[in-house]
Amino acid sequence: MRDLDVKNIHDSVHGTIRLEDWMVEIIDTPEFQRLRRIKQLGFADLVYPGANHTRFEHSIGTLYVAKMLTDDAEILASALLHDIGHAPFSHSGEGIVRKYLGKEHEDVRDILMNSRIREILEENGMDWKNVARGILKPPVSSVIDVDRIDYLMRDSHYTGVAYGIVDFDRLIKTLDFDGENVYVSIKGVRAIESLLISRYLMYSAVYHHHVCRIAKKMFEKAVEWMISENELDPRRLVEMDDHDIISAMRNSCGFPKEIVSRLDSRRLYKRAVYAPKQDIGINIEKIDTKRAEREIAEVVGLDEHEIIVDVPGYRSEEYDIPVYVNGEFVSVEEISPLVRALKNAHMQNWRMGVYCPAEHVDSVRKTSIDYFDINTSTQQKLSDILDL
Amino acid sequence: MRDLDVKNIHDSVHGTIRLEDWMVEIIDTPEFQRLRRIKQLGFADLVYPGANHTRFEHSIGTLYVAKMLTDDAEILASALLHDIGHAPFSHSGEGIVRKYLGKEHEDVRDILMNSRIREILEENGMDWKNVARGILKPPVSSVIDVDRIDYLMRDSHYTGVAYGIVDFDRLIKTLDFDGENVYVSIKGVRAIESLLISRYLMYSAVYHHHVCRIAKKMFEKAVEWMISENELDPRRLVEMDDHDIISAMRNSCGFPKEIVSRLDSRRLYKRAVYAPKQDIGINIEKIDTKRAEREIAEVVGLDEHEIIVDVPGYRSEEYDIPVYVNGEFVSVEEISPLVRALKNAHMQNWRMGVYCPAEHVDSVRKTSIDYFDINTSTQQKLSDILDL
Amino acid sequence: MRDLDVKNIHDSVHGTIRLEDWMVEIIDTPEFQRLRRIKQLGFADLVYPGANHTRFEHSIGTLYVAKMLTDDAEILASALLHDIGHAPFSHSGEGIVRKYLGKEHEDVRDILMNSRIREILEENGMDWKNVARGILKPPVSSVIDVDRIDYLMRDSHYTGVAYGIVDFDRLIKTLDFDGENVYVSIKGVRAIESLLISRYLMYSAVYHHHVCRIAKKMFEKAVEWMISENELDPRRLVEMDDHDIISAMRNSCGFPKEIVSRLDSRRLYKRAVYAPKQDIGINIEKIDTKRAEREIAEVVGLDEHEIIVDVPGYRSEEYDIPVYVNGEFVSVEEISPLVRALKNAHMQNWRMGVYCPAEHVDSVRKTSIDYFDINTSTQQKLSDILDL
Amino acid sequence: MRDLDVKNIHDSVHGTIRLEDWMVEIIDTPEFQRLRRIKQLGFADLVYPGANHTRFEHSIGTLYVAKMLTDDAEILASALLHDIGHAPFSHSGEGIVRKYLGKEHEDVRDILMNSRIREILEENGMDWKNVARGILKPPVSSVIDVDRIDYLMRDSHYTGVAYGIVDFDRLIKTLDFDGENVYVSIKGVRAIESLLISRYLMYSAVYHHHVCRIAKKMFEKAVEWMISENELDPRRLVEMDDHDIISAMRNSCGFPKEIVSRLDSRRLYKRAVYAPKQDIGINIEKIDTKRAEREIAEVVGLDEHEIIVDVPGYRSEEYDIPVYVNGEFVSVEEISPLVRALKNAHMQNWRMGVYCPAEHVDSVRKTSIDYFDINTSTQQKLSDILDL
């Protein structure tokens, strides 16, 4: 009898997921249950009202994808636990954790070591240090990994963007993990193309959507304010859930209270500038955003909290997924004209933004154009066009 | 040019939804934005991790379904606003609102009258009283209505239960609203069958799932405790969101703090009794649940908060949807053997439950069996079987 | 490297299906390739224009489902080959094969024995007699079997009826084959319900749709005519494909040519009578349809080919699928109120039909009502209603 | 009552499609019913077993898409009738019709004029000449048209390739037809991208799949043989269905009989050469394929029927779909980096092929490499890689 003592979870993306006893034990810890209350896409529901899914389901989904590639319990545990160190509102809190705690959300050693999770792992013959290390290695983290396969599919499902594009069935049948790297067979090239198309569309429509970025930046500014005013101990962030941080902001005074009220009622900052790389006259690598915010605020006569300068990292996403063909590995970029095309298109979507309250957009725009030496001739048209 | 000045919302169930200006204005009010932070299915995510969707998207989805049936602006406004009076965690808070405020969540007159919404309605030529009344009438509320068409589809999408069963396309093409009633043409009988199958499955797998009911009852008990201890003004419930109520419970002491901690870490009460009607020796209509909880607690030596007696209303869901055939209306029950079958099966799924902390299940079961004169011969088997 | 020498087939229902070498060899035989040219649902495309799928893909899909339950090569071969003996237009030709060749389409011994398939099986260590026998046994043929799981899902996909209702993922995870029987674990009851709902809807909307039955009966009458006139050797039916039989009908004269012209241009016979069991005054078990057609034709003054009397077998579909619970097997009918409901509803959809050219409907109806002693009071309404 | 006298068709791609009376009348003509028996993708089922859909459903689907853009009855009739002149096996027969009848399949004047269709059109106030002309004009035929929107979605559905990529809902909401041209609003750019991604993938995986092209070319060679031998009157092609042509080939002798037997049993010609443009030493524009086949055959000592030289037109698909932005039209290529990328990638997939029976591949390859001056260094690798 196959199913009698098995615990299943009903996942809206992957269907019924079977769990072994140790997985259930880990999921039942308070540290893991906390992930139920951390939204996967932060404030993306302001643009896509369905985007309310959580790190909890994504973590279990990542385990599911990992199970397709390996039976190694430590790797499966890494997949399940890879997000255990996320701050509230997911990546929206990531920059802060990095800045104040000097570590990435993937660095979960403290959490594993000091919780019941360590015991569960050890009771089941796993070394918790290996599990912690596994979070940073293939197949949990690499050019193509189980984490991003799950989140691309899941974020598509809940936003309704690019839904159904990933050919998961074929992808997983042609993907392999040899203990060191994740790669595809030559029969998987089309499936990889489907994954990269999906990623391209998700970046332009969701992850880099200007409204998502504005809300995220507003939230981060409020959290930093609370930390700098000693209203919030940054070490507590990895224990808090979304309720806690919103509650803290509501109970704060001044700036965080104003920000949470803006987020609640969707009175977001607006774009004063939204410029592609080639329109920016200065070297974007050298921009100090804090200083820029302060200096622009000063010229315009605003408080520095009212200006957000957003300079996303200007680097291509990784496209060099290894394909196994005729006994050797070749990058999918070499094989697929479509992948080369996507890589090229990806860079052209990059934008620097300057955001501020709606009533100050005109003055901030004027000042920012000078400050960053922006070529204005194409500005109006571009911002219209890209506000799809 | 068709689309130029139109605001669209990207819905994960219905796709792109177009909104007129007045709809956007209503959606932008703080009263409506609050619905973003009220989960549609309360604590159902404890069973279905994807069930994190909100009243916000459901309200817009209900508007979408209504637009398929009518152009009447007041009816569309009723559809959009029908849930504006919900307490946090949706129906989980409904019993409390009814008990303490003496009104149904549908009674939204106060909210409309005292907010900017009233002005928006009036500026667009609508009578806000008609809009308030419309929430209780077809096509927003009736045997078959736009509210439940949306929530059945949406709850399916996010739980993954019974997904894709409703033949929405055919349903909406064969449905009509004549100003008084919603009915289907004879060509819509199959689509109605699909809706009722979906409803049957959603009730047994989600709405009446014992874990969902236990969590809901635990939450309600905690909220009632706060009200009775003057920690919470029940009139504030219709202004609070999920963050507020969880935060209030965490800041409370004693019982609510214990309950929120149990909900957070999924240490829920367990079933001591789970009995179908025919196994209960006493008249279920006459059960006073508060008194039963007190008396059972006393016998077992527990606090009355630790016992939950759950007696759902024993009545059939409505199945008499009118079908227009040969110039007259006939109930779909008369036409469809399947609908008659579903109605009969529906009643057989009813269960009375007694729930308590895991460590007291045995003693509470023993006492409850006496108290309610329960036929125990079938108990064990049934609870096993129904715990699917 | 997982995928290198593997042959995949891209199936529109199950996705990528991997095939072992011996499977590819069987699929490549002319006997199996013939199934590409035999439509799975006969003339159902006259009602559902998308229903053009073939026995070829269904056979490979059945193999896929079987692979989920067993690794036994002989059973997999039985699943793959179970339809190899079908006559053109699938079940539309089934009655004829049975009548003239005295065997069921499942009896494929001759085909296996006399073709390259036998050698392929033997070269791969299989006993072709076991493979032939396996077609008639679980898990290929039983109350719940891999054949009907595939065809229900596939016929849904191509007709668009009841699409997505079967929860295949959960079904297959809770289904087991113990070497003798197929059964489900208690956790599979909901999935079985989904399968039976789908089957119920497919029967009423497709398999028993009166237009599908009329076309099938017209075709069978034409084929029988050709056999009785020695225009067609019935033994050749298992070698012919849909092109062959249509071509034979077009090249025939008189009746078959008339029928193929009617089928081509969709000038089908119409219903003169369409009666549920309780409206028929005589014992349906005793009806001799050939004689009835002749006698009604005589009264009305028509040729006997112009009358079709269709009396489907009056028996319930099988619902007693075994469920494994607490160490014993229980029929799903005992556990699920919904299954009992479906069984009851199923019988109420049965209809006897009398069909003839449109211009004779009135006279044939009158005569048939007398002949079968039909209660006419409910006739008009019922036929309207059921013509959904 | 909305639905009472309406005829619906259940389409597996678009769901329920409503038809007006005149549409039903046209669909009921023998000329239109013939399309039920012409497969949309010819022999693509040899690669994708689900690809058995027909011109019939595609024609009705095209009507459905057209109805989203216009109410003009003549345009709707053009959409419905645009494929009425197709030869058997669709595009597989297109080259022959063009060559022997000197007209495109879109030239349906003869069929309209000489059938009941003309009367139906005129009885409903339409000018049949406008309807015939409309087939060649927007929105039925243009850079973006209702024909290709339907076939891309439909071919995806039945092959399982790129399924679900087209965001039809958003596409149709942002598309407009101004009486002269079809274009999108700026909000439709993402939807256009989804359409073009789908088209790109369908071309590489289906339309230009080497097995599909080989089968198509084999079939065309057999049909041309029958015409040249006076076994087949090319004027009859527009009246024949798939059964007729297969039957004619089976009844032929020599070459067509051999080809149909090969197609039936999937013994197809194989690739001797498969070369991208940059590897071909001579000017591809100047290749006379008939002469090349003859000359290569002579060198190798084969019959010229046994060699197929396939030189697809080397031109980009059209990408310059007009987008309406800020009061003017801009090509989507200017706006979307992704579209530019796809256009570039598209050309890189082009291949010239030389095909012949498996046993002659080596000798034909050698001769062809000389004949076309092909750079062989990359040949082996490329053909491996592209045979995905």
Which string of DSSP letters, residue by residue, matches C73-119?
Answer: HHHHHHHHHTTTTPPTTGGGGHHHHHHHHSS-TT--HHHHHTSHHHH
Which residue matches tokens 């699938």?
Answer: C90
- Which of the pair, A172 or A101, is modelled with greater confidence? A172
**Confidence (pLDDT) at C379:** 47
- pLDDT band at D284; cut points 50, 70, 90: very high
What pLDDT, on a 0 to 100 scale, did the predictor assign at position B163? Answer: 76
Q: What percent of chain A has pLDDT over 90?
A: 71
Residue of B164, B186, B201 lying closest to C385 (CB–CB)? B186
C265 burial (CB, 10 Å; 0-12 / 13-18 / 19+) is middle
**d(CA A161, nearest CA chain C) in Å:** 21
Q: Please state the rounded mean pLDDT for residues D79-101.
A: 80
With CB atoms and an 8 Å threshold, state whether C11 touches D50: yes
User: Model confidence at B359, in pLDDT bands (50, 70, 90)?
Assistant: very high
Measured between beta carbons, which residues in chain D are less than 8 angstroms from residue A335? 385
What integer pLDDT is reported at residue A106 of this predicted model? 60
| pLDDT score for A119 | 97
What ipTM was predicted for this assembly? 0.91
Other C-beta atoms within 10 Å of D282: how many? 11
**Domains along chain B with CATH numbers:** 6-160 (1.10.3210.10), 270-313+350-388 (3.30.70)
Which residues on chain D are in Cβ contact (under 8 Å) with C12?
48-50, 157-160, 163
The answer, yes or no, to whether residue B387 has pLDDT greater than 50, is: no
- The answer to whether C157 contacts chain A (CB < 8 Å) is no
Measured CA to CA, the distance from residue B309 to residue B272 in angstroms comes to 10
Evaluate the CA torsion angle A346, A349, A355, A357 in order and state its sign: negative
Cβ–Cβ below 8 Å for C338 and B335: no
pTM of the model: 0.90
Dihedrals phi, psi of B72, to nearest 5 degrees: -65, 115
Contact status of C325 with chain B (Cβ, < 8 Å): yes
Measured in degrees and rounded to the nearest 5, phi and psi for residue B374 equal -90, 135
Residue D190 to chain B, least CA–CA distance (Å): 12
C-alpha D263/C-alpha C259 separation (Å) is 29
- Which residues in chain A are contacts of D338 at CB distance < 8 A? 200, 341-342, 345
Closest CA to B280 of B311, B253, B256, B321: B311
A with D: how many residue pairs have Cβ under 8 Å apart? 77
- In this predicted structure, the answer to whether residue B53 has a pLDDT above a threshold of 70 is yes
Decide if pLDDT at D108 tops 50.
yes
Q: pLDDT of A150-191, one tens digit each?
A: 999 999 999 988 877 888 988 998 999 999 999 999 889 989
One-letter amino acid identity for D155? D
Closest CA to B63 of B18, B127, B110: B18
- Signed CA dihedral, D53, D54, D57, D58: sign only: positive
Does A8 lie at the interface with B, CB-CB under 8 angstroms? no
| The predicted structure's pLDDT at residue D167 | 87
Q: Tell me the one-letter amino acid at B378.
A: T
User: What is d(CA C167, CA C179) in angstroms, rounded to the nearest whole number?
Assistant: 24
Phi, psi of A162 (to 5 degrees): 60, 30
Model pLDDT, residue D386: 47
A-chain residues within 8 Å CB-CB of B266?
A: 28, 33
For residue B365, pLDDT beyond 90: yes
Distance in Å, alpha carbon of C235 to nearest chain D alpha carbon: 20
Strand order in the sheet with A175-177: A175-177, A182-185, A322-325, A328-331
| Least reliable range by pLDDT among B49-58, B98-107, B193-202, C27-36 | B98-107
CA closest to A170 among chain D residues:
D161
Within chain C, residue ranges assigned H as helices are: 21-27, 30-33, 55-69, 73-81, 94-101, 109-113, 116-123, 128-134, 146-159, 168-174, 189-202, 210-228, 242-251, 255-265, 289-300, 332-335, 337-348, 361-372, 379-386
Check CB contact under 8 Å for A385 and D325: yes
Mean pLDDT over each residue of chain D, to the nearest integer: 90
Pairwise CB contact (< 8 Å): A337 & D325: no
Query: Per the CB < 8 Å rule, is A169 touching C15?
Result: yes
Look at residue A10 and tell me whether its pLDDT is greater than 80: yes
Q: Which residues of D touch C56 (CB under 8 A)?
A: 49
Higher pLDDT, D163 or A386: D163
Pick the residue with more confidence: A96 or A363? A363
Residue B378 contacts D, CB cutoff 8 Å: no
Tell me the chain D residues in contact with residue A382 when contact means C-beta distances shorter than 8 Å.
none
**How far apart are alpha carbons B245 and B252 in whole angstroms?**
10
> B178: nearest CA in chain D?
D1
Average pLDDT of the segment spanning A105-123: 89
| C114–chain D Cβ distance below 8 A for any pair | no
**Among residues B126, B105, B20, which one has the least CA distance to residue B64?**
B20
User: What DSSP string describes B233-287?
Assistant: -GGGGGG--HHHHHHHHHHS-SHHHHHHHHHHHT---EEEEEE-GGGB-S-GGG-
- A176 to C16: CB separation less than 8 angstroms, yes or no: no
- Cβ-defined contact of B1 to D324 (cutoff 8 Å): yes
Task: Quote the pLDDT of residue C16.
Answer: 87
> CA–CA separation, A347 vs A316, rounded Å?
6
Chain C closest-CA separation from residue D260 CA (Å): 12
Residues of chain C with pLDDT under 70: 1-6, 91-95, 97, 101-106, 316-317, 377-388
Q: Quick one: closest CA in C to B336, which residue?
A: C345
Tell me: the pLDDT tens digits for D154-176? 999 999 888 778 889 889 989 99
Q: What is the pLDDT of residue D6?
A: 65
Q: Are C205 and C158 in contact (CB under 8 A)?
A: no
Name the residue among A164, A187, A197 with its Cβ closest to that of D164. A164
pLDDT of residue A103: 64
Question: CA–CA separation, C22 vs A156, rounded Å?
Answer: 39
Identify the pLDDT of residue C381: 52
Chain B segment 196-215 residues within 8 A of C by beta carbon are 197, 200-201, 205
Instruction: Give the pLDDT score at B103.
Output: 64
User: Which residues face C176 on adjacent strands?
Assistant: C183
Could you tell me which residue, A384 or A88, shows the higher pLDDT? A88
Nearest beta carbon to residue C189 from set B165, B342, B388: B388
The whole-angstrom distance between B104's CA and the closest CA on chain D is: 33
Tell me whether A36 touches chain B (CB under 8 Å).
yes
Cβ–Cβ gap B3/D169 under 8 Å: no
Å between D160 CA and nearest CA of chain C = 5
Chain A touched by D385 (CB under 8 Å): yes
Given a cut of 80, whether residue B93 has pLDDT beyond it is no
* pLDDT value at B10 more than 80: yes
* Among the partner residues B13, B15, B33, nearest to A264 by beta-carbon distance: B33
> Mean pLDDT in chain B?
90
Least Cα separation, residue A182 to chain C (angstroms): 11
| Cβ-count burial C153-192 (b if 16+ within 10 Å, e if not) | bbbbbbbbbbbbbbbbbbbbbbbbbeeebbbbbbbbbbbb
Query: In the structure, what pLDDT confidence band is assigned to residue A104 with cuts at 50, 70 and 90?
Result: low
* Dist CA A163 CA D249 (whole Å): 44
Total residues belonging to chain A: 388
What percent of chain D stands above pLDDT 90? 71
- Asked whether residue D28 carries a pLDDT value surpassing 90, the answer given is yes
For residue A367, the Cα-to-chain-centroid distance in whole angstroms is: 31
Whether residue C176 and residue A1 make contact (CB cut-off 8 A), yes or no, is yes
Position with higher pLDDT, C187 vs A117: A117
Residues 267-296 (A) with a CB less than 8 A from some CB of D: none
Helix pair B146-159, B189-202: axis angle to 10 deg: 50
B194-218: average pLDDT? 92
Q: A157–B12: do the CB atoms touch at under 8 Å? A: yes
Interface check for D138 against chain B (CB to CB < 8 A): the answer is no
Residue of C nearest to B333 (CA): C345
Tell me if C185 and A1 make a contact (CB, 8 A cut-off): yes
**In this complex, how many residue pairs, one in chain B and one in chain D, have their CB atoms less than 8 Å apart?**
48
